Homo-oligomer: A and B are copies of this chain.
């Protein structure tokens, strides 16, 4: 998308880096004096001013008002993230901290991702987001039918993430135990390994192949499957939303309101995360800055996201959400590392 970024000369790079870095840590517009002092440059403020004016003209910096210090634009952050920042690898302590958080009893993928959102919030001090493995990559490991009362039964599906989906379905006719177990066996034979969200279509397409007894079973099974509510939308865990209140950019109620509005619409949140990791199909995480989100009202925020994998396939994503002014060099490393942890744990869980 930003393929041939106009090249900046070394001095411009140094100064852009300094401005972004300084602004990220202090949240104050950065003046020329500050740049030379805090970064020990062998230049005078006047020279820096000239360069800063150039950077502004090229769209990397911006003044909040005439004759104030400079602040990075989206483009400035982008250049910083892509070319300037030195990714700050985790310390051994941080690594151990993260691994420690996963030593708790985690029964299924949902537990793992809930814990992940918690962990991300805690360690990054931003809002932590974790999407549960998406329905299209969940496959059936086992199906069970379980009578609950005369006219109702529970359909239970354990998927390859250890999660149990359960649905109560109304039966038209009472099924005796034998019939039920026959049906159950049939479903397991036919549908093991099939993706959860196209059970019915799979069975349907095989319908012609069956004869007699099998066909009757299949038709009966289809009735049941069709009664199932459509698989729930992408589940997403969010934690640490209130941490955002500590950032000065959210002192403004109306901005805060926008973000919290997003947090209540879980679907949008999932979309955001997916489009973030979707844009770059790579294993590494992605950073999406401000207007790049293409979300009205969320121009002030950034998202750092990273996909996690099972059997080499990306099946979901995790990340953090916070103000544009984020310590990217630290957070990208944390999010990436956490994503690999999630992958590893899910693999163990799926074994």
Residues in A204-244 with C-beta less than 8 Å from chain B: 229, 239-242
Which residues from B are CB-within-8-Å of A148? 141-142, 158, 162
Known contacts being A105-B229, A146-B158, is A241 close to B257, with CB within 8 Å? no
Q: Which of B141, B168, B242 is close to A108, meaning CB atoms less than 8 Å apart?
A: B168
Q: Does A253 contact B (CB under 8 A)?
A: yes
A173 at the binding interface (Cβ < 8 Å):
no
Interchain CA distance A239-B240 in the complex, whole Å: 17
A241 contacts across to B, CB distance below 8 A: 260, 264
Q: Is A83 among interface residues, defined by CB-CB distance under 8 A?
A: no
Q: Is the CB of A168 within 8 A of B253?
A: no
Q: Does A166 contact B (CB under 8 A)?
A: yes
Q: How many monomers of this chain does the complex have? A: 2
CB proximity to B under 8 Å, residues A231-275: 239-242, 245, 250-251, 253, 256-257, 260-261, 263-264
**A160-172 vs B, Cβ < 8 Å mask (1 yes, 0 no):** 0010101110000
Nearest chain-B residue to A151 (Cβ)? B351
Using a CB-CB cutoff of 8 Å, which residues 139-155 of chain A contact chain B? 141-142, 144, 146-149, 154
In the complex, what residue of chain B is closest to A228 when comparing beta carbons? Answer: B107
The verdict on A156 contacting chain B, using a C-beta distance below 8 Å, is yes
User: Which single member of B107, B162, B245, B351 contacts A253 (CB below 8 Å)?
Assistant: B245
Known pairs A142-B146, A264-B242; A164 contacts B158 (CB<8 A): no
Does A158 lie within 8 Å of B162, measured CB to CB?
no
Residues of B within 8 A of A107 (CB): 167-168, 229
Q: Would A154 and B158 count as touching, CB distance under 8 A?
A: yes
CA distance A282 to B224 in the complex (A): 42
Contacts of A251 on B, CB cut-off 8 Å?
253
Task: Kindly identify which residue among B146, B168, B250 contacts A144, using a CB–CB cutoff of 8 Å.
Answer: B146
Which chain B residues lie closer than 8 Å to A108 at the CB level?
Answer: 168
Task: Name which residue of chain B comes closest to A258, CB basis.
Answer: B242
Residues on B with C-beta less than 8 A from A239 are 264
The verdict on A154 contacting B164 (CB below 8 Å), with A241-B264, A242-B260, A251-B253 known, is: yes
Instruction: Give the docked Cα–Cα distance between A351 and B154 (Å).
Output: 15
21 contacts between A and B (CB under 8 A): A105-B229, A107-B229, A108-B168, A141-B149, A142-B146, A144-B156, A148-B158, A148-B162, A154-B156, A156-B166, A164-B166, A241-B260, A241-B264, A242-B257, A242-B260, A242-B261, A242-B263, A242-B264, A245-B260, A253-B253, A253-B256
User: Sorted from nearest, which 7 A-B pairs have the closest CB atoms?
Assistant: A164-B166, A245-B257, A242-B260, A144-B146, A242-B261, A107-B168, A148-B158
Q: Beyond the given A146-B156, A162-B168, could you list 7 further A-B residue pairs with CB under 8 A, ordered by the A residue number?
A: A107-B168, A154-B156, A156-B166, A158-B166, A164-B166, A166-B166, A242-B263
